[in-house]
Amino acid sequence: MSSPVRDLLAQLLAFDTTSRESNLALIHFVQSWLAEHGVASRLLHNDSGSKANLYAVIGPDTAGGVMLSGHTDVVPVEGQTWNVPPFALTEQEGRYYGRGSTDMKGFLACVLASVPAFVAEPLRLPLHLAFSYDEEVGCLGVRSLTDLLADAASKPALCIIGEPTEMRPVYGHKGKVAMRCDVRGHACHSAYAPQGVNAIEYATRLITRLMDEGDQLAEVQDSRFDPAFSTLQVGTISGGTALNIVPQSCQFDFEIRHLPDAPADAVIERIAQYAQCELLPAMRQKADGCSITFQPLSQYPGLLTDPTCRFASLLAEWCGCDRFSTVAFGTEGGLFHQAGMTTLVCGPGSMEQGHKPDEFISVEQIDACMKMLGNLTQWLRA
Catalytic residues: 73, 135
- Output the CA angle 314-315-321, nearest 5 degrees: 115
Distances from the Cα of 177 to the Cα of 22, 139, 155, 344, angstroms: 25, 11, 28, 21
* Helices 24-36, 4-13: inter-axial angle, 10-degree rounding: 150
* Helices 363-380, 106-120: inter-axial angle, 10-degree rounding: 30
Closest CA to 132 of 121, 118, 143: 143
CA–CA distance, 342 with 340 (Å, rounded to integer): 7
Omega within 30 of 0 (cis) for the link into 104: yes
Three-state SS for 88? coil
- Output the CA angle 46-49-53, nearest 5 degrees: 50
Main-chain phi, psi angles of 78, to 5 degrees: -60, 140
Beta carbons of 28 and 57 less than 8 angstroms apart: no
Closest CA to 223 of 306, 297, 152, 325: 325
Distances from the Cα of 105 to the Cα of 55, 117, 181, 348, angstroms: 16, 19, 35, 10
Beta carbons of 349 and 103 less than 8 angstroms apart: yes
